[in-house]
Amino acid sequence: MRFDKPRTFRQSISWVHTWAGLLLGWLLFAVFVTGTLSFFRNEITLWMQPELHRAHDDGHAAANALRTLERVGSGAQQWTISLPGPRSNVVNLSWREAQPEQAQGSQSRGGGRQQPGLHRAVMDPATGELIEARQTAGGNFLYRFHFELYGMDRAWGRWIVGIATMFMFVALITGVIVHRQIFRDFFTFRPAKGKRSWLDAHNASGVLSLPFHLVITFSGLMLLGSMLMPTAVSSAYPEDSAAYGRELRGLGNAAPAPRATGEAAPLTAIAPLLAEGERRWPDAGVGSIVVTHPGDAGAIIELRQARGDSLANRAATERLLFNGVSGKLLDAPPAAEPSTVRAIQNVLSAVHLGRFASPLPRWLLFLSGVLGSLMVASGLVLWVVSRAKDAPSAEPSLAPIPRGHRLVQVLNIAAVAGLMIAIAAYFWANRLVPVEQAERNLWEIRTFFSAWGLTLIHALLRRHKRAWIEQLVAAGALFAALPLLNTFSGGAHLGHSLASGQWQVAGFDLTALACGLLLFFAARGVIRHVPRVRPGKAAPAARPATRSPRPAEATAAQAPLPLPLRC
Amino acid sequence: MNPLALDFLAFALSFAAFSAIALSTERHSKQVFGRLPALAARHTLTVAGWLLLFASLLPALAARGPSIGSLAWLGYLSLASVAIGLMLSYRPRPLRFAAPALLGLAVLAWGMAGH
């Protein structure tokens, strides 16, 4: 666009959309793809620990866990048992040893940080055996990369992703404005029509799940909001910014922990307590058990509901408190009602993080994320396609491609197909790096970035079309073979996981297979692609018969444009 | 009641809604029927489509409550519209039967799950 001439509003907006989208598009694609995968973070981590695949729940998980904890965690101050559920097939145990001087309130800080005196273990629900799983970066790496990238200060990564999110928001809004016929073209996709097809694909993937894109982008901004706009907090809480966090979390009303009596007494049987929990929460069930002062006469057993049935009060699930020795119900505190502001924030963050247990809405979010990734990728390709019309010939062009266009071509290949290779390579590294390797998780991550770097070099060295084909085929092969790799490297293969209802593992394998097939399909599209010629030139003879336009559409075809993916 | 039957009903209703809206447009009705239906019929389709669209929210809410239900509803809308977009691009003719068949199946499943 020229700035020395008058231009229409739509042209200006279109310019903003194009360049905001292009500059951050490569990063946004990575953020979208890793974010989409993060909806299944737990499942990915489970797949990456094949030692856990064979574990299954036979209904005695809680009793087995208590028996195991008596063995390994006797004398601990508190036991926590996370029971198997739709997203986990194992029992996660943790026990906290009594600390001489432990300040109340310092316990729940700092997510993954190692706390003194805290032990964690994974247990097979049926046997009660502790399972030693391999060290892996798991789904957590993809999750962290999604919002703070890697290899830099966390704050920097968050700032970069935050700015990209802002651009995404701008691109969404400008995209709706420049879309010419958002209602008339709502369902329109015209395949094999060059630039028109890419524009249709970009529009359709954007419009058809526009509510999702808006919600996910806005809530993403909100999650990073207090960092992007710190003055909002510091002006409302001038003296004490920690008060903001306390007020946000609704802390300050936690009941003081009961004291131990020092008298030894055995724990009551857990089954009747669980039955009471199941009676009160028929849908959600019991999610976790916390035993305070186990083995003491003052023991307390707390059952927590598996999940809230509302997004508005996310952490506030219902609880049941029992006397740990007599088994008498002491208290059933209701879930705390969040304030309106907090409820809105909870809803948005719960949607963004997919904080609910049932798999169906999670899959819907995943599919919307896939659409969003396709939207970004098709937009990136569209940039190249739109500019390819400058070169009029459909022959393998001898005219030099402008340097900027070549740069975008190369970055597109590495950012889209290359990222797919990198992610697949990450999963391969998970199985091929020896189990006893020190810093195993780091080797997985190193493989991810090495593979990604190699795809960039490959894209630089190869011709545009060849590079796309080779990388798409490589990514497709790596993904499609993941179920096989899983079979031969100690995981539960599809026959086993499907037959025994291991949906977390089976879901990963099937999704990898589907992803591989889609990548092959995309590669086939590029291989079969023959550039269209402008009117007046002879049509290429080798036009694939399957792509011939239908009679009704052939007459309406716009001036054909040469396509970008020139050999 | 099994929420899956209601989920299916929500999806079938949104699929029917978007089919009706697509068929009310000139381009897509020609694609599907091979000819342009009468104007009155297309108006009816528009109204029916919008009504079905709002109706599809109800089973989603009934199945999963207000917050997750409305989120799932948006997911069904995307899924249904993508399915219809793909059918219109590659196999437009069967769209005539797809929506009624899906809706019939969903109502059947819902009725069976309810009793």
pLDDT confidence of residue A333: 76
Top mean pLDDT of A159-168, A475-484, A492-501 is at A475-484
Of B13 and A55, which is predicted with more confidence?
Answer: B13
Residue from the list A212, A310, A347 with its beta carbon closest to the beta carbon of B78 = A212
Of A295 and A29, which is predicted with more confidence?
Answer: A29
pTM greater than the 0.95 cutoff: no
Question: How high does pLDDT run on average in chain B?
Answer: 88
Q: Using the beta-carbon criterion (under 8 Å), do B81 and A208 form an inter-chain contact?
A: yes
Residue of B53, B57, B68 best to disrupt the A interface, most CBs of A under 10 A: B68
Q: Count other Cβ atoms within 10 Å, centred on residue A493.
A: 17
User: Chain B within 8 Å of A204 (Cβ-Cβ)?
Assistant: yes
pLDDT confidence of residue A294: 87
pLDDT at A320 over 60: yes
pLDDT confidence of residue A474: 96
> DSSP of A2-26, one letter per residue?
-SSS---HHHHHHHHHHHHHHHHHH
The whole-number average pLDDT for the span A237-243 is: 70
| Closest residue in chain A to residue B81, using alpha carbons only | A208
Q: Which residues contact B85 (CB under 8 A, 6 or more apart)?
A: A186, A187, A188, A189, A204, A208
The lowest-confidence range among A199-208, A254-263, A556-565 is A556-565
pLDDT at A565 over 60: no
The lowest-confidence range among A148-157, A214-223, A307-316 is A307-316
Of A3 and A203, which is predicted with more confidence?
Answer: A203
Residue of A208, A215, A219, A314 best to disrupt the B interface, most CBs of B under 10 A: A208
Strands (E), A299-423: 300-305, 319-323, 329-331
From CA A345, how far away is CA A357, in angstroms rounded? Answer: 19
pLDDT confidence of residue A29: 95
Q: Using the beta-carbon criterion (under 8 Å), do A188 and B85 form an inter-chain contact?
A: yes
**B49 to chain A nearest CA, in Å?**
14
User: Chain B within 8 Å of A552 (Cβ-Cβ)?
Assistant: yes
Q: Count other Cβ atoms within 10 Å, centred on residue A548.
A: 10
From CA A205, how far away is CA A373, in angstroms rounded? Answer: 9
Q: Using the beta-carbon criterion (under 8 Å), do B78 and A365 form an inter-chain contact?
A: no
SS3 B58: helix
Which band of pLDDT confidence, cut at 50, 70 and 90, is reported for residue A114?
A: low
| Closest residue in chain A to residue B3, using alpha carbons only | A360
Using a pLDDT cut of 90, give the percent of chain B over it.
40
The whole-number average pLDDT for the span A445-452 is: 96
Using a pLDDT cut of 90, give the percent of chain A over it.
29
The whole-number average pLDDT for the span A455-472 is: 94
Contacts of B82 in chain A (CB under 8 A): 204, 208-209, 371
Q: Which residues contact B66 (CB under 8 A, 6 or more apart)?
A: A310
Reading across the β-sheet that carries A118-123, which strands appear in turn? Answer: A130-131, A118-123, A91-97, A76-82, A286-292, A300-305, A319-323, A329-331
ipTM: 0.91
Sequence letter at residue A222: M
pLDDT confidence of residue A111: 38
pLDDT confidence of residue A180: 74
The whole-number average pLDDT for the span A374-380 is: 94
The whole-number average pLDDT for the span A418-424 is: 96
Residue carrying structure tokens 């929210």: B57
Question: What are the tens digits of pLDDT across the range A504-522?
Answer: 899 999 999 999 999 999 9
CB A535 within 8 A of CB A559: yes
Query: Which token pair is A393?
Result: 């010939």
**A151 to chain B nearest CA, in Å?**
35
pLDDT at A135 over 80: yes
Q: Using the beta-carbon criterion (under 8 Å), do A351 and B71 form an inter-chain contact?
A: yes
Which band of pLDDT confidence, cut at 50, 70 and 90, is reported for residue B35?
A: confident
Sequence letter at residue B9: L
pLDDT confidence of residue B58: 93
From CA A37, how far away is CA B27, in angstroms rounded? Answer: 37
Question: What are the tens digits of pLDDT across the range A299-319?
Answer: 888 888 876 556 665 556 678
Question: What are the tens digits of pLDDT across the range A247-283?
Answer: 666 544 455 566 777 788 888 888 888 888 888 887 7
Residue carrying structure tokens 């009155």: B40
Contacts with B, A 341-360, CB within 8 Å: 347, 350-351, 356, 358, 360
The whole-number average pLDDT for the span A132-151 is: 90
Query: Which token pair is B11?
Result: 């999806």
pLDDT confidence of residue A456: 96
pLDDT confidence of residue A398: 58
Q: For chain A, what's the residue count? A: 567
Q: How far is CA A37 from CA A129, A145, A297, A365, A370, in A?
A: 30, 11, 46, 10, 9
Q: Using the beta-carbon criterion (under 8 Å), do B65 and A312 form an inter-chain contact?
A: no
Which band of pLDDT confidence, cut at 50, 70 and 90, is reported for residue A100?
A: low
> DSSP of A149-184, one letter per residue?
-SSS-HHHHHHHHHHHHHHHHHHHHHHHHH-S-TTT
Nearest of B69, B90, B66 to residue B14 by alpha carbon: B69
Residues A160/A164/A166/A170 CA torsion (nearest 10 deg): 160
Residue from the list A184, A311, A552 with its beta carbon closest to the beta carbon of B67 = A311
Q: How far is CA A21 from CA A26, A145, A175, in A?
A: 9, 20, 9
pLDDT at A58 over 50: yes
Chain B: residues touching A (Cβ < 8 Å): 4, 7, 18, 21-22, 25, 27-28, 30-31, 64-68, 71-72, 74-79, 81-82, 84-86, 88-90
Contacts of B17 in chain A (CB under 8 A): none
pLDDT confidence of residue A562: 37
Query: A52: which DSSP letter?
Result: G
Q: Please compute Rg for chain A using Cα positions.
A: 28
pLDDT confidence of residue B50: 94
pLDDT at A113 over 60: no
Sequence letter at residue A462: R
CB A94 within 8 A of CB A103: no
Question: How high does pLDDT run on average in chain A?
Answer: 81
User: Chain B within 8 Å of A554 (Cβ-Cβ)?
Assistant: no
User: Chain B within 8 Å of A212 (Cβ-Cβ)?
Assistant: yes
pLDDT confidence of residue A250: 55
Question: What are the tens digits of pLDDT across the range A60-99?
Answer: 888 888 888 888 888 788 888 988 877 788 888 888 887 6
Distance of alpha carbon A126 from its chain centroid, rounded? 30
Contacts with B, A 153-192, CB within 8 Å: 184, 186-191
Q: Using the beta-carbon criterion (under 8 Å), do B90 and A358 form an inter-chain contact?
A: no
pLDDT confidence of residue B53: 93
Q: Using the beta-carbon criterion (under 8 Å), do A364 and B7 form an inter-chain contact?
A: no
The whole-number average pLDDT for the span A387-412 is: 72
Q: Which residues contact A318 (CB under 8 A, 6 or more apart)?
A: A280, A281, A304, A305, A332, A333, A334, A335
Question: What are the tens digits of pLDDT across the range A47-57?
Answer: 999 988 888 78
Which band of pLDDT confidence, cut at 50, 70 and 90, is reported for residue A444?
A: very high
